[in-house]
Structure 1
Amino acid sequence: MTDSPAARGARAAARRLAAAHGPRLEADVEAALHARGPAQYADPASLGSLIVSAAALAWTVYQDLRARTERPARAVVTRRVRLELPADGRTSGDERDGIIAVVVDEVVTDAEE
């Protein structure tokens, strides 16, 4: 998963979120990317793992929706990721939703390039 649209989206989201969550976020995301296989879900105990899990799910949801429509709406992808990604209990709902929105935006942007 280290060079998939989900991985590229996770990296881009980490760059965007690093100002709010600290410079270590990019390294945490990179570590989470290398710690998991393509079908595994990482332990969402860290923000990096949350971003990688959200990116993997966003890519899966995007591909599923793309089978039905050429350009799935970001809002639909975001809503499904919010519903399907288990809450980690360590991130507030608003913060989690904001992270998911950034991750989906980056994954979809990468997929549509």
Structure 2
Amino acid sequence: MGAISLGRKLQILDLSYDQLGGVIHDSIGNLSTQPVQLRLGGNRLWGSIPTGINNLVNLTDLRMQKNNMTGNIPAVIGNLKMLRLLDLSENQFSGSESSVANLTRYIVT
């Protein structure tokens, strides 16, 4: 994914089912605006979830379902205290889900 310029009031960044392909770069955590919802499901994204996602501290909704994501679910996702919905279903993650075990909210993996 290349550089994205966002407005100051952006609440929802919905790029789901837009035929995006490639790796999600760690700089996703450096978005100029902190979206509350990040929706990237139904694309052709691959690779692991970048640890930079931890910088999106206002996220309540993170959807990356139906991609080709791999690797372990990073422990930093467990630090997203506002997160209420995490959908990582229909990917190729390996390892345990212990990194998100401390989240008591609605989780789909």
Scaled to the shorter chain, the TM-score interval is under 0.3
Select the structure with the greater relative contact order (CA < 8 A; seq sep ≥ 6). Answer: 1
The structure that is strand-richer by fraction is 2
TM-score norm. by structure 2 comes to 0.25
TM-score norm. by structure 1 comes to 0.24
The structure that is helix-richer by fraction is 1
